[in-house]
Chain A
Amino acid sequence: MAMDRRKFFKVAAAGCGTACALASPTFAADSARRIGADGYGMLQDSVRCIGCKACQSACKQINKLPPDSSLEGDYYDSPRDLSDSTYTLIKMHQGESGEATFVKKQCMHCIDPACQSACLVGALVKQENGAVEWDGNKCMGCRYCMVACPYNVPQFQWKEAIPAISKCTLCADTRLNKELPTGCTTSCPAGAISFGKRDDLLKVARERIAASPELYLDHIYGEKEIGGTNVIYLTKKKVAFATLGLPDLGFKAPPRLTESIQHGVFKYFIPPVAIYAALGGIMAFTNRKNKAEEKGGPDE
Chain B
Amino acid sequence: MSKAAPLHQKFWTPNAWLLVFFMASAAVFAYFRFVYGFGSVTNLNPSYPMGIWIAFDVACGVALAAGGFTTCLVVEIFGRHKYHSLLRPALLTAFIGYMLVAMAVMFDLGRWYYIWHTLIYWNGNSVLFEVAWCVMLYLNVLAIENLPNVIEQYKGKVNLPGPLSAFNKTSEGFLSRSEKILRRVGVFFVIAGVVLSFGHQSSLGTMMLIAPNKLHELWMTAWSPLLFLLSAMSVGLPMVIFEGTLASYFFGRKSELPLLADLARIIPLFLGTFLLLRFADLIYRGALTEALAGGRQGNAFLVEMALFVVPFVLLFVRKVRENGTGLFLCALSIIGGVVAYRFNVFLIGMDMGGGWNYFPSVGEFAITFGFLAFGVFLYKLAVNYLPILEDH
- A and B interact: yes
* Residue in B79, B124, B211 whose beta carbon sits within 8 Å of that of A148 in the complex: B211
Bound-complex Cα distance A275 to B196 (A): 10
A5 touches B187 (CB 8 A): yes
* Residue in B76, B130, B191, B213 whose beta carbon sits within 8 Å of that of A276 in the complex: B191
Does residue A272 face the partner (Cβ distance < 8 Å to B)?
yes
List A contacts of B194 (CB < 8 A).
Answer: 279
Does residue A141 face the partner (Cβ distance < 8 Å to B)?
yes
- 8 A Cβ contacts from B94-151 to A: 108-112, 114-115, 117-118, 121-130, 132
Bound-complex Cα distance A152 to B208 (A): 14
Return the CB mask of A190-211 against B: 1 if under 8 Å, else 0: 0000000000000000000000
A261 touches B211 (CB 8 A): no
Count A-B contacts at CB 8 Å.
183
Return the CB mask of A109-150 against B: 1 if under 8 Å, else 0: 000001011111111000000000000001111111011111
List B contacts of A144 (CB < 8 A).
Answer: 50, 126, 128, 207, 210
Q: What distance in Å separates the Cβ of B51 from its nearest Cβ neighbour in chain A?
A: 10
Q: Across the two chains, which residue of chain B brings its CB closest to A1? A: B184
* Residue in A150, A163, A258, A280 whose beta carbon sits within 8 Å of that of B209 in the complex: A258
A120 touches B128 (CB 8 A): yes
- 8 A Cβ contacts from B234-270 to A: none
Bound-complex Cα distance A216 to B191 (A): 62
Q: Across the two chains, which residue of chain A brings its CB closest to B212? A: A254
Does residue A155 face the partner (Cβ distance < 8 Å to B)?
yes
Does residue B286 face the partner (Cβ distance < 8 Å to A)?
no
Return the CB mask of A249-276 against B: 1 if under 8 Å, else 0: 1000011011101110110000010011
Does residue A219 face the partner (Cβ distance < 8 Å to B)?
no
Known A261-B225, A275-B195, A283-B79: A121·B121 in contact at CB below 8 Å: yes
Does residue A21 face the partner (Cβ distance < 8 Å to B)?
no
Bound-complex Cα distance A257 to B127 (A): 11
Does residue A3 face the partner (Cβ distance < 8 Å to B)?
no
Return the CB mask of B187-211 against A: 1 if under 8 Å, else 0: 1001110110011001100111111
Additional A-B contacts beyond A147-B49, A279-B194, A290-B79 (17; CB < 8 A):
A1-B184, A117-B125, A117-B210, A118-B127, A120-B126, A138-B117, A140-B109, A142-B109, A152-B353, A158-B39, A159-B36, A159-B40, A249-B213, A254-B210, A255-B125, A262-B124, A287-B79
